[in-house]
Structure 1
């Protein structure tokens, strides 16, 4: 019998995931075996006859389960980026096993007593700042996982956690299935009037894949959004918008309405069991914001400031729509008329700009920016196994070597410097890939036994595929998306902490978007744009007037976009502070977002049933963090603007912030970088002048 590759030491470059050797049937037995091994590690720590110390309890726990973490990362990343029916079925079996294992750890009384003893006697240990953080976070993590509960309540909590993991997984699977279930087949090209030729070529390719004549539009973002933006056929826009808004809402096989009520009810039960008024209070205790009241105050302050701007913007669009005979503009008209207005105001058109943003060149630019700011070098490699042929892999090196001389670090010949990270990039939509864009990791950075284990980072997007005669070309929004996800990637790549659970993006959730949103700012800087915005056929640099227009248009529809984000944030907070008020998902959603809605609500559509960020992802009671982080990124970039956007001294300070991960309080990290706390005025000034 062939040994299970997932249980072996990976004999691959940088011990990377051996994707081409993994069989789907390897996963379940690997998880079962690795959970047993990890349980044995935990029991050894808990039953250690020696008195508990920081090293034999807290540190030992931080390093435990390394192989299980790696296999979990491989599996769940595949479930997002290259899933199929079999992987989804395995996920349904594996998720409760992992949740049960996690509960066993957090409810291991013997282990907790050791942790509590070290925590209560922490003054006697000579701990550095990172060790103090690890100790505090470990103790608090156990308490927040139910370590102080009685046995009956511990069992209740374990059941709630298992139910939540299963229902969240099902929610995401329903959204993916609902997205994939719809496509619009169009035979008459006239019905697609206004849509640029490059997009039509992609629609024709999608039709061919389905053995159909003509064109196919799907609900995948690179297909859906251009139709909503350019299609003159209002009936087509309406049909697509209805299909998109009905995802997992139409009462069919993949409906999520009942799952939403079940998920928020379970979260409320969990919060009450642990002594909190509601789930938002439970979550926010471990965020920079700290309380639901502070989040509501923050969101409502922005709402008050942004609403007049948003109303003025939509009035301009309604004037354009009336000229076309539309008396009552609908949400499915917004993107179309916003593009018209943008064209009028700035003479900018996404399709005119796309030839200047070839994906490969945009990637080169973001790599170059990382090189200029942080001394990183990227080298494409072809000996690293991939989970799909479209994935590309890169070794990242650091010219400067800040690590301590006694640490073992792989150093390559030439001037590339020390190996820093392995990077996977995966850019195009597929049937087995969920929508959107994200950064994740296959392996975290940490230091152990004098060796600095470097991370394996992945950036996943859904950009238009190249066609037979055209490379992949990006809209400007997709350019900013790539920079956003690469900002997250840099948080992982530059990680330089002792412990894996404080490394990279393992920070307070409302701090995690700072690096991503910060990097987007460079896309609007003329001096930087000129270095890569070049026509894919002629090499001509995007003309100065267009570059100036991009910079000027940065805040176009900012009021509308702000209200849209605030609507999501307020809805998220409502679900997690008023779970008992949710009788009908659509009614609740309409009521809670009415202050941010600028168009009539359609009774046939709803956002909540496909709101994966809060019902599948980690943004529950945390969606506000996008706007929270905008305050941070606006303030941080203002600091660069005042001193030069490539200023090496400030870049060095920012690099310390990124490399520190979760080893310090994020506000302390920010103040060490900036010299002061962030000011909301920085965001308001950038957004509204």
Structure 2
């Protein structure tokens, strides 16, 4: 069982994935179809290729009984450790904990993979049922006095135990996890902490389900006139969705980023842009049953109470005590430096766009205008047209570029399999092999959007690399690419292409992990470090050679040189807008979680508006993620942590500069060092040590500002 520093086991899983529509009144799935445990495919050996979850045989009704049995067996394992009459040793306590709870871990990984990627009403009902149970189980574990007594006894004499570097790190991480979960608190405070954890688990699930429900309700039906300016591929996909929704002759534009971004950029009908903008932007803040305002208020209040019980003045202080940044002040200082540079650039960009809008009779540039006029400026300045670009970005071609990149840098090959059971149609699986034929692990690609999938893109693990048990990792990448109409190929935006490389950077972090202990493996690192390897990998999607070989249209023709030239020149275009959008979300997150008291009349929308005004965020720019649908914060693991993307970008920009300084971004010696010192080490040592081992020093923000064209 992996022991990590978090609020609850349920929150760990939900940090990777969110959920679908709200079904709190649904009957518990296991009550609908009770069956003996012996007939449950989750229990017992998984006789499948590579022992993957038997998704072809698992039904929603199987999960709750498997969770119950898994928790029973895990508790038995942990009680045996806690009550061991022998003196505590690393092997009979810490290592024994690493080996405990196998059924619970397998079930949780298989299940929480679904809550984000295929959160059907039946799956949501199970999530609603088991979330509080898992939180209770986690609290009981972390507040077990006997268990913590053994861990604490080892920690207090750690330097005399003769531990390896990795063992010492695991002992430290485990001890801190228990301390941060209240193991040393008086009984009354421990009881209250457990109640808070359980309530947060319920609210965590509630928030994610409300957001996806409101997202689905935000589907916008448009007429042919309202689709003016959109390319044929987009129109065909939107018409297909409308037809399936029983609205032939109409066009359905989803309240998802994969639909929102191209529509805001290319639709010439301003009223239609405004309509789609509001559907996307107001998810979770509408006056309906899916409004998340009260859920947010309850969560920030409980988080603050929890932090104070543990001796911190705010939730942000609690969260960042276990991060590279260490304090909210350090994180804020970095954000301020980058934000101010981005804001200055965004104001220049806004002035240019307002001139174009004024020429069209628009006196005030609105949020639904920025991308549209920005695209006009980009076309005029760089002769780059999104409509011309996208036909040369087939999803399969970009994936081909990703495979070439992975093989050239690390010698890894991806070989597709057809015998792996998956949870829905359209999911592909690949074995990953070393150059010498040794198998690394299994990769699942779930790239297409569906009504039951949470928004965004993410990586999660179905099985974590485990050197203790010699188990290969199984990792999943999720995206929300709009499926093509029948007979057509899936086309992606350049942003989608970067996202595919980004998520595979996470996948490599999991696949190439080489730790002994699963609690330290792969992505089990600080939140402001975990985005570092993923953001590094984005750089290769813009390599000219990769695009020349893989950015090809339906006829197999490569992207014309002049179009490729324009794409390369425009890479830093609109960086002020993108920097402010991202950092305004991070700043609101940090300001919210630095509160030391929550007003009785707290309103998330009003707080957000006041914070944006305080920092001078232009109205036409706004936030990338508003609080009302900010799943990173309220159904994920990024509360007081969205700054992590910028922090990690400092790391990755400085790290990638090492390849640039060598004059060869395909330098295999540097790639080998990066693999050894970053990807393989997981959390087996402090991240600062891993970065210094690779780069020779700590990073500076100079490369980041230069990369964004802000310096």
Q: Give the whole-Å Cα distance in 1 for the aligned partners of 2:625 and 2:548.
A: 41
Per-residue deviation at 1:641? 1.2
- 1:276-314 CA distance string (max 9 Å, x none): 011101000110000011111111111222221111011
Task: Give 1:413's aligned residue.
Answer: none
2:109 pairs with 1:73: yes
**Equivalent residue number for residue 333 of structure 1:** 369
Write the distance in 1 (CA, Å) between the matches of 2:625 and 2:360.
27
**SS of 2:477 mapped into structure 1:** strand
- For residues 229 and 410 of structure 2, what CA distance do their matches in structure 1 show? 43
Q: Distance in 1 between matches of 2:171 and 2:470?
A: 21
Shift of 1:621: 0.6
Q: How many residues align?
A: 668
- In structure 1, runs of 5+ residues without a counterpart are 401-416
Which residue does the alignment assign to 1:404? Answer: none
1:513 to 507, 511, 531: 531
- 1:104 matched residue in structure 2: 140
Q: Which residue of 2 aligns with 1:573?
A: 590
Q: Does 1:468 align with 2:486?
A: yes
Q: 2:521 & 2:403 partners in 1: Cα distance? A: 22
TM-aligned CA deviation for residue 544 of structure 1: 2.2
Tell me the equivalent position of 1:381. Answer: 417
Tell me if the contact between 2:242 and 2:248 (Cα under 8 Å) persists in the aligned partners: yes
* 1:551-585 deviation per Cα after TM superposition (whole angstroms, max 9, x unaligned): 21111111111111110111011111116355222
Match of 2:672 among 652, 675, 688: 652
| 2:124 pairs with one of 83, 88, 94 | 88
Asked if 1:665 is matched to 2:686, the reply is yes
Q: CA deviation at 1:548?
A: 2.2
Q: Does 1:684 pair with 2:701? A: no
Is 1:592 aligned to residue 611 of structure 2?
yes
Listed as ranges, the matches of 1:36-185 within 5 Å are 36-185=72-221
Q: CA offsets per residue over residues 415-442 of structure 1, 9 Å max, x none?
A: xx11111111111111111111111110
Q: Does 2:390 align with 1:354? A: yes
TM-score, normalised with respect to structure 1:
0.95
Residue of 282, 286, 290 corresponding to 1:246: 282
User: 1:551 maps to which residue?
Assistant: 568
Conservation of the 8 A alpha-carbon contact between 1:564 and 1:596: no
Range 7-16 or range 459-468, more displaced: 459-468
Residue 190 (structure 1) aligned to one of 211, 215, 225: 225
- Please tell me whether residue 207 in structure 1 is matched to residue 228 in structure 2: no
- Are the aligned partners of 2:218 and 2:283 in contact in 1 as well (CA < 8 Å)? no
- In the TM superposition, residue 469 of structure 1 has moved relative to its aligned partner by 3.1
- The answer on whether the counterparts of 2:109 and 2:463 sit within 8 Å (CA) in structure 1 is yes
After superposing on structure 2, the runs of 4+ consecutive aligned residues of structure 1 that deviate more than 3 Å are 600-603
The CA deviation string for residues 355-394 of structure 1, in whole angstroms up to 9 with x for no partner, is 2111112112112211111111111111110101211111
Correspondence for 1:527 among 545, 564, 571: 545
In structure 2, distance between residues paired with 1:174 and 1:638: 42
Structure 1: distance between partners of 2:99 and 2:360: 64
Match of 2:54 in 1: 18
Cα distance between partner residues in 2 of 1:153 and 1:58:
26
From 560, 575, 582, the equivalent of 2:577 is 560
SS in 2 for 1:329: coil
| Equivalent pair of 2:581/2:621 in contact (CA under 8 Å) | no
Give the Å deviation of 1:117. Answer: 0.8
- Secondary structure of 1:511's aligned partner: helix
Change in CA separation of 1:486 and 1:238 when aligned onto 2, cut-off 3 Å: same
**Structure 2 residue aligned with 1:637:** 656
Q: Which runs of 5+ in 2 are unaligned?
A: 1-35
1:181-211 alpha-carbon deviations (Å, 9 max, x no partner): 1222233x22221111111111111111112
Shift of 1:3: 1.3
Q: Is the 1:563–1:596 Cα contact (8 Å) retained in structure 2?
A: no
Deviation at 1:606, TM superposition (A): 8.8
2:477 is matched with which residue? 459
Question: CA shift at 1:220, angstroms?
Answer: 2.2
Are the aligned partners of 2:343 and 2:617 in contact in 1 as well (CA < 8 Å)?
no
1:63 touches 1:500 (CA, 8 Å); kept in 2?
no
Aligned CA-pair RMSD: 1.6
Q: Is the 8 A contact 2:370 2:620 kept in 1?
A: no
Q: Retained in 2: the 8 A contact 1:426–1:459?
A: yes
| Secondary structure of 2:571 counterpart | helix
Q: Do the aligned residues in 2 keep the contact of 1:130 with 1:664 (CA within 8 Å)?
A: yes
- Aligned counterparts of 2:153 and 2:567: Cα–Cα separation in 1: 58
SS at match of 2:557: coil
Say whether residues 1:674 and 2:695 are aligned partners: yes
- SS of 1:378's partner is strand
8 Å contact kept, 1:421–1:454: yes
2:581, 2:622 within 8 Å by CA — same for their partners in 1? no
